[in-house]
Structure 1
Amino acid sequence: MCSRGKKIPDRIRRREHKVESYIQISHVSKRFGEDLVLKDINLTMERGKAYGIVGNNGSGKTVLMKCICGFLPVSTGRILVDGREIGKDVDFPESLGIIIETPGFLGHLSGRKNLEILADLNRKIKREDITRILCRVGLNPGLKKPVAKYSLGMRQRLGIAQALMEQPELLILDEPFNGLDEQGVAEIRRLLLEEKEKGRTLLLSSHNKEDIQVLCDQVIRMDGGEVKEEKGYE
């Protein structure tokens, strides 16, 4: 049965007494062979705020997200998350929830069983936490259907549940609304706004301008592997 409400851990409460530089990207470039896909990127992101990255396909947004996550090494420059350099001090940010491209799950198992297997790796959450997050993303926690038979929208909801279930400080979501119908988009927007209110830092991309305007404090426009504009929303 789905229920709501849980105490917010002290470690992710909004820290209002000072502005914190949570993500620091300094002179980052990335090459694939002869192709320079990121060109001298410099960005600072504050803890507890939401940032949207926009740009056409091939603009470099997904590559930048993968570099921040530690999935791709930078060619030059450095990326610090919470004061630790990715690829040097740590391989990945220590408290991270992520969706990049299509979430991968074991198709012959249920969504819940997939999350239980992932949860057992870190042992940070209990079975009731999995029930709670499945309810929050709009999935039936008792559903036995294998993921292979899920619709695209159900898979996306499951991916969002996976990203959120361990209550990470940092959420990096590449096109989190892919495959969702109008109702699903509205529900996941509300969910992400709730996470933002808890003090989490959000970095997301979307082709829908309204998603960015509703969720984000600042938008970063990329083109040709470069940051072309940074703009804040009131």
Structure 2
Amino acid sequence: MIVIEQATKKIGRNTVLKDVNLNFKEGTIYGLRGRNGAGKTMLLRAIAGLIKLDSGRILVNNQQIRKEISFPKSLGILIENNNVLPDFTLKKNLQLLAKIKKIATDEMIDDAILRVGFNPNDKRKVRQFSLGMKQRAAIAQAIFEKPDLILLDEPTNAIDVEGVREMRKIFELEKKRGASIILASHNPEDLNVLADEIIVMAEGRVVNEK
């Protein structure tokens, strides 16, 4: 369970989040809708612990982000530019990450790679991938540890039509597994197809929930 209370953040003179109050529960996909600069990415970054609020708080399983914990303990994330290391294979990327938390087995790594449409034995380095392939790789990175919380910012960018359908199936399966998924997208079809609840943001505020 994620609880956001009066979350406010300023960057310079701009208020990028203003008095945001939201609750997110497990096994649910939430869609964030809004124009560029509406606050969608900043909200994801705040939940991930990547930015510190000026006021208000974010609780994940009753632990406050940036106070009791630095970031959610079970988190998969794809925000803005993916951070898959270009000079390694996708499998090596996931193996390096797996050493940090020591959660994912080799079988879990191979399964995530297969799910996004790659061969686990592919020897190509990520820098050789197309933009759509890099996006798939970033999705594999977000899901391979089977996290409780998955944050996705424009996850289907640069992916072809068939690939988008495949990625949506992955997100649906992660939801069925019990994960909470918060997804920001400019693609209205992504939100209409996937989201159980849609949250509309404008100028750092939540202006509508449905």
Same fold (TM over 0.5): yes
Counterpart code for 1:167: K
Aligned length: 210
- What are the superposed Cα offsets for residues 104-158 of structure 1, whole Å, 9 maximum, x if unpaired? 1222211111111111121111112111110011111111111111001111111
Does the alignment pair 1:177 with 2:151? Answer: no
Does the alignment pair 1:226 with 2:186? Answer: no
Following superposition, the deviation at residue 101 of structure 1 comes to 0.7
Counterpart code for 2:170: L
TM-score (normalised: structure 2):
0.98
> Matched residue of 1:106: which SS?
coil
Asked which structure has the greater RCO (Cα within 8 Å, sep 6+), the reply is 2
> 2:96 maps to what in 1?
117
Does the alignment pair 1:28 with 2:7? Answer: yes
> 2:108 maps to what in 1?
129
Q: Bigger shift: 147-156 or 104-113?
A: 104-113
Distance in 1, Cα, partners of 2:63 & 2:202: 28
Following superposition, the deviation at residue 85 of structure 1 comes to 0.6
Does the alignment pair 1:160 with 2:139? Answer: yes
Identity fraction in percent: 44
Counterpart code for 1:126: T
> 1:11 maps to what in 2?
none
- What are the superposed Cα offsets for residues 180-232 of structure 1, whole Å, 9 maximum, x if unpaired? 0001100000111111111111100111111111111100000111111001x
Following superposition, the deviation at residue 46 of structure 1 comes to 1.7
The runs of at least 4 aligned residues of structure 1 exceeding 6 Å deviation read: none
> 1:19 maps to what in 2?
none
Counterpart code for 1:158: A
> 2:45 maps to what in 1?
66
Distance in 2, Cα, partners of 1:48 & 1:56: 27
Counterpart code for 1:213: N
The aligned runs of 1:63-212 (5 Å cut-off) are 63-212=42-191
Does the alignment pair 1:54 with 2:36? Answer: no
TM-score (normalised: structure 1):
0.88
The alignment's C-alpha RMSD in Å is 0.9
> Matched residue of 2:151: which SS?
strand
Following superposition, the deviation at residue 69 of structure 1 comes to 0.5
> Matched residue of 1:202: which SS?
strand
Distance in 1, Cα, partners of 2:14 & 2:195: 31
Distance in 2, Cα, partners of 1:83 & 1:146: 40
Counterpart code for 1:37: V
User: Which is higher, the Rg of structure 1 or of structure 2?
Assistant: 1
> Matched residue of 2:83: which SS?
coil
Distance in 2, Cα, partners of 1:174 & 1:70: 15
Following superposition, the deviation at residue 45 of structure 1 comes to 1.4
Following superposition, the deviation at residue 103 of structure 1 comes to 0.9
Distance in 1, Cα, partners of 2:131 & 2:4: 33
> 1:6 maps to what in 2?
none
> 2:17 maps to what in 1?
38
Counterpart code for 1:138: G
